[in-house]
Amino acid sequence: MSDPTMESLRNRLRAFVAERDWDQFHAPKSLAMSITIEAAELAEHFQWLRTGAPEELAPGQTAKVGEEMADVLLYLIRLADKLDIDLLAAADRKLDLNAIKYPVEKARGRSTKYDQL
Amino acid sequence: MSDPTMESLRNRLRAFVAERDWDQFHAPKSLAMSITIEAAELAEHFQWLRTGAPEELAPGQTAKVGEEMADVLLYLIRLADKLDIDLLAAADRKLDLNAIKYPVEKARGRSTKYDQL
Amino acid sequence: MSDPTMESLRNRLRAFVAERDWDQFHAPKSLAMSITIEAAELAEHFQWLRTGAPEELAPGQTAKVGEEMADVLLYLIRLADKLDIDLLAAADRKLDLNAIKYPVEKARGRSTKYDQL
Amino acid sequence: MSDPTMESLRNRLRAFVAERDWDQFHAPKSLAMSITIEAAELAEHFQWLRTGAPEELAPGQTAKVGEEMADVLLYLIRLADKLDIDLLAAADRKLDLNAIKYPVEKARGRSTKYDQL
């Protein structure tokens, strides 16, 4: 089998949803809400840690973290499919925009938001 | 130029962060928090819509939605890089797990959570 | 016993935390993160509903929703205590601000964000 | 004027919403989503801080944090009103439940989740 790609995951998700007749639940508003829910489940692993560095995670917890990150990604892919958005292209363009919002000379070493730089 | 991939985005992010000396801010806990923050900015576009179907989005809003989804993806990629997680492989495995958690015959047409199926 | 108030809850929380020696975990950043996590657990009850009107909630689910709302409130009270913020006064002032941001004549019947009104 | 209470805030919110004819937008699902959105705006103030202790917040930032906390509280009060939930009583009961979930002798000094204690 070949390595998974964004496209293969989108296709697996389509089949997964069709088999279960779940498309009726996948209003974009509900999918957007699902992304916040899965993001919070991811955050829960870091809630009481100092910084969440790998060495602070308990053994086996990184795998759990990966599963939560996977859930966020899967809902992102599903929402992108419903709205006909090319996620990878959108992320590539967003990096171009971020480079303009955060010019190296102004942003270096600072965590200040772009509108206050 | 070739199409962007998860790997090319990871590499662009690494360079972006290095140029700005931002790695000092990228504790996994802060990155996980950032994913919830960007997910909420995405959700904001759907907050007052009925279902968020494409036709309910104002003209030009889908592009904005794509930018917020891109932000979620970029932080996911960044956190995966810090924790040495292969996101695509994790999502592929998660789909296998979800297929077990939600057997077709039990889950068809129902939005019930797996532990209550 | 008298009815609970924001102040009595703050005091019960202080005692609860002291007895368990949990203040060491209650960095404001972690408490803020906890509010997003509990908010998402609340959202989970509405994830696949059409609008979440009371009649769409399953019997007994309103009590569960109340418990999740309680968790959000408890972390809010705890964070306010740590930062010495008077929550009720802050909410009262915020309503004054919102009345200015959303003048009746402009905002009536519209869900548009204030900066686009 | 007397000090604000949960009840006076609920009543001010009712009037605020009625004047603007906003009840049509306040489906419980949208209000729950709004709580996650405001919680994330609150989290944004702590995103890049080490712990978010008061001394790490910039001058004037505590007031901003208070405004975001106020937004979370206002939406909580609004949702409680729509679902006929007594928030203070729910929080008081939840503290009773939490005392059972986290017995002092087991939970002291540990941030472990109750189901793993």
Are A54 and A21 found together in one domain?
A: yes
**Chains contacting D (3 or more CB pairs within 8 Å):** A, B, C
Please say whether the beta carbons of D54 and C83 come within 8 A: yes
Q: What is the pLDDT of residue D1?
A: 62
Query: What pLDDT, in 10s, does the model give residues C74-98?
Result: 999 999 999 999 999 999 999 999 9
Are C78 and C108 found together in one domain?
A: no
Q: What is the pLDDT of residue A1?
A: 62
Enter the pTM of the model: 0.96
Cα→Cα distances D52→A8, B30, C30, C75, Å: 41, 11, 8, 15
Report, in angstroms and rounded to the nearest whole number, the Rg of chain D calculated over CA atoms.
18
pLDDT(D8) > 90: yes
Query: What value does the mean pLDDT take over residues B10-28?
Result: 97
Contact between C43 and A25 using a beta-carbon 8 Å cutoff = no
Buried b / exposed e over A96-111, threshold 16 CB at 10 Å, is eebeeebeeeebeeee
Dist. CA C27–CA A45, nearest whole Å: 16
Query: What pLDDT, in 10s, does the model give residues C34-77?
Result: 999 999 999 999 999 988 888 899 889 999 999 999 999 999 99
Nearest-neighbour CA in chain D from C59: distance (Å): 13
Query: What value does the mean pLDDT take over residues A80-90?
Result: 97
Q: For residue A15, what pLDDT band results from cuts at 50, 70 and 90?
A: very high
Chain A interface test: which of B11, B64, B94 (most A C-beta within 10 Å): B94
Contact between B36 and D48 using a beta-carbon 8 Å cutoff = no
Contact between A32 and B52 using a beta-carbon 8 Å cutoff = yes
Dist. CA A88–CA B73, nearest whole Å: 8
Q: Residue B111 sits in which domain range?
A: 86-117
Are B46 and B2 found together in one domain?
A: yes
> Which residues of D16-114 form beta strands (DSSP E)?
none
Are C14 and C67 found together in one domain?
A: yes
Chain D neighbors of C79, CB-CB under 8 A: 69
Query: What pLDDT, in 10s, does the model give residues A93-117?
Result: 999 999 999 999 999 999 988 888 8
Are A80 and A94 found together in one domain?
A: no
Please say whether the beta carbons of C31 and C78 come within 8 A: yes
Q: What is the pLDDT of residue C117?
A: 82
Q: What is the pLDDT of residue A115?
A: 86
Q: What is the pLDDT of residue B50?
A: 87
Contact between B87 and A74 using a beta-carbon 8 Å cutoff = no
Chain B neighbors of A111, CB-CB under 8 A: 22, 25
Contact between B43 and D33 using a beta-carbon 8 Å cutoff = yes
Dist. CA B83–CA C44, nearest whole Å: 27
pLDDT(B64) > 90: yes
Domain count, chain D: 2
Chain D neighbors of C88, CB-CB under 8 A: 3-6, 9
> What single-letter DSSP state applies at residue B11?
H
Cα→Cα distances C8→A72, C73, C74, Å: 38, 13, 11
Lookup result for tokens 């705006």: D41
Query: What pLDDT, in 10s, does the model give residues C23-37?
Result: 999 999 999 999 999
Range of lowest pLDDT (A12-26, C46-60, D1-15, D18-32): C46-60
Q: How far apart are the first and last CA of chain B?
A: 48
Dist. CA D96–CA D73, nearest whole Å: 21
pLDDT(D2) > 90: no
Are C92 and C70 found together in one domain?
A: no
Query: What pLDDT, in 10s, does the model give residues A36-52?
Result: 999 999 999 999 998 88
Are B81 and B46 found together in one domain?
A: yes
Are C80 and C90 found together in one domain?
A: no
Are C111 and C90 found together in one domain?
A: yes
Amino acid at B33: M
pLDDT(D26) > 90: yes
Are D63 and D107 found together in one domain?
A: no
Contact between D20 and C102 using a beta-carbon 8 Å cutoff = yes
Nearest-neighbour CA in chain D from A96: distance (Å): 22
- Which CATH number do you get for residue D2? 1.10.287.1080
Are B35 and B90 found together in one domain?
A: no
Chain A interface test: which of D44, D48, D56, D102 (most A C-beta within 10 Å): D48
Contact between B33 and D43 using a beta-carbon 8 Å cutoff = yes
H helix or E strand, kind and range, residue A66 = helix A61-83
| Closest chain A residue to D52, measured at CA | A50
Nearest by CB to residue C70, choosing from D29, D94, D109, is D94
Cα→Cα distances C48→C17, C35, C43, D69, Å: 35, 22, 10, 27
Nearest by CB to residue C74, choosing from D36, D39, D94, is D94
Q: For residue B1, what pLDDT band results from cuts at 50, 70 and 90?
A: low
Cα→Cα distances B65→A31, A67, A74, B45, Å: 12, 25, 17, 7
Are C49 and C102 found together in one domain?
A: no
Query: What pLDDT, in 10s, does the model give residues D64-115?
Result: 999 999 999 999 999 999 999 999 999 999 999 999 999 999 999 999 888 8
Q: Could you please report the per-residue DSSP string of chain C?
A: -PPP-HHHHHHHHHHHHHHHT-GGG--HHHHHHHHHHHHHHHHHTTTTSSS--GGGSPTTHHHHHHHHHHHHHHHHHHHHHHHT--HHHHHHHHHHHHHHHS-HHHHTT----GGG-
pLDDT(A28) > 80: yes
